[in-house]
Amino acid sequence: MRRRSLAAVLSIGGIVAYTSPHWAPPELMMDYVYPRLPSNGFSRFVGRISELESAMCLKLFSAAYKLDLAHATIDDVSKFSNLQSLFTRTLLSQFRPYKGELVSPCDGVVLSSGVVENDTMLQVKGQTFSLRQFLASKEHEKTESILKNPSNKLFYSVIYLSPKDCHRIFSPAVWTMTSYRHVPGMLLKVGPRFTQRHKDSLSKNERVILFGEWRHGFMSVSPVGALNVGSIIVNCAPDLVTNVKGKLLEERKLDSPKTFQAGEELGYFKMGSTVVLIFEAPPSFRMMCEENQHFLYGQELGSS
């Protein structure tokens, strides 16, 4: 048991240093070596480590990322059973009021937001990703084929969850989910320093795209995997398993459409990553967020 705990502590120490969003590897490593590392296998390993019981791991991780548990239902790091339970901690409802037409689906930093132009979105300032490649569907290849109302526009928001954020994902509005698409892929880092150097990195990573409609038309909520994300859990898709070798693209329609209220839980990451919202709204719709602004889930993102 001691050996296993020691191994876990050493592994977490290396993981913290290797995957910290504040650490930028040398340019040669970032551009050529890093994307070629076995990120999927490494992430499965980290997933197993995060489920080991180790008080030392919890203390090390908490200290490294200066976790603030004041809003959590459990505010003492030593009372969590393992890292995974810490990442997916529940929060006190009084600190997460839901106000607005469209609210943040998670705690995290808004890396970019705006209107989809030329079927392209910003994953971070100065770097783009393709709508067609991200949604991985001919049906949703262009903005015009997505809009339910041709006079509307297609908006988006990219929200990055750092290791210190709660890793649960919530409904950003009242909407009805009809299907989901699991797109297997790589598990590259998604921190700002990495995505600034790699175009379409969000389209290369594994992701689960939840499709549906809200009051203005099309809506999708997409949890995107990343290095160290052992898996993505979607509550209404219990058979979905991510980060599995040899998995092919999978699309499923729900047996019956599922309507979510704003703030209702959609799922969670086994460690953090990124959530991409893509939604239809009238031209008068205004995003109420700024680049690199930290949002709490339930906080208003936009309104018409």
Tens digits of pLDDT across the chain (304 residues): 444 544 444 445 445 544 555 555 555 454 555 556 655 566 566 667 777 788 888 888 888 888 899 999 999 999 999 888 998 999 998 888 888 999 999 999 999 999 999 999 998 877 889 999 999 987 887 899 999 999 999 999 999 998 889 999 999 999 999 999 999 988 877 777 777 777 778 888 899 999 999 999 999 999 998 876 668 999 999 999 998 887 888 999 999 999 999 999 999 998 768 999 999 999 999 999 998 999 999 999 999 9
End-to-end CA gap in the chain: 56
Residue among 165, 261, 276 nearest 225 (CA) = 276
Q: What is the pLDDT of residue 44?
A: 62
Output Rg (C-alpha) for the chain, integer angstroms: 19
Q: Report helix, strand or coil for 221.
A: strand
The single-letter DSSP state of residue 34 is G
Residue among 276, 204, 209 nearest 34 (CA) = 204
Q: Is 239 exposed, middle or buried (0-12, 13-18, 19+ CB in 10 A)?
A: exposed
Residue among 241, 156, 150 nearest 203 (CA) = 156
Distance of CA 140 to the CA centre of its chain: 21
**What whole-number distance in Å separates Cα of residue 50 and Cα of residue 230?**
9
Bridge-based pairing state of the strands 274-281 and 153-160: antiparallel
Contact 179, 108 (CB under 8 A): no
Contact 264, 170 (CB under 8 A): yes
pLDDT in tens, 166-177: 999 999 999 999
Contact 189, 34 (CB under 8 A): yes
Q: What is the pLDDT of residue 10?
A: 43
Q: Report helix, strand or coil for 169.
A: strand
**What whole-number distance in Å separates Cα of residue 76 and Cα of residue 13?**
21
Distance set, CA 176 to CA 171, 256, 287 (Å): 10, 10, 21
Q: What is the pLDDT of residue 6?
A: 46
Crossing angle of helices 2-19 and 39-50, in 10° steps, is 130
| Residue 215 backbone dihedrals phi, psi, to 5 degrees | -60, -25
